[in-house]
Amino acid sequence: MTPAEIRDEIIDILEDISPDDELDDLDDDKNFRDQLELDSMDFLDIVMELRKRHRVQIPEEDYGHLASMTSTVTYLEPKMKDIVKA
């Protein structure tokens, strides 16, 4: 997957987890927590959804890499490079 496809996938997951949040104005460089009403369970849902959809394993010690869209895409890019978007 390309970085743009990974970003789209994260947006899709966020829409499922937090349907009331406005994601069109998301600042990719700001922390998700500063922009969206996400709690720690929501972040766990993101990790679980990535595992379910794409078999991407994210160890708990790496959860900090999922703080913003930019850091999430950067972290996931090597893990998802061989995944073909359906």
Per-residue pLDDT of the chain (86 residues; tens, 9 = 90+): 999 999 999 999 999 988 888 888 899 999 998 898 888 899 899 999 999 999 999 999 999 999 999 999 999 999 998 887 66
Provide the domain count of the chain.
Answer: 1
22, 20, 7: which is closest to 70 by C-alpha? 7
For position 4, what pLDDT does the model report?
95
- Residue 85 resides in a domain: no
- Residue 43, domain member (yes or no): yes
Could you tell me if residue 36 is left (phi over 0), alpha (psi between -120 and 50 degrees) or otherwise beta?
beta
Residue 51 forms part of a structural domain: yes
Range of the domain at 48: 3-19+31-80
The pTM for the full model equals 0.89
Q: Is residue 76 part of a domain?
A: yes
The answer to whether residue 71 is domain-embedded is yes
Q: Is residue 24 part of a domain?
A: no
* CATH number (domain holding residue 39): 1.10.1200
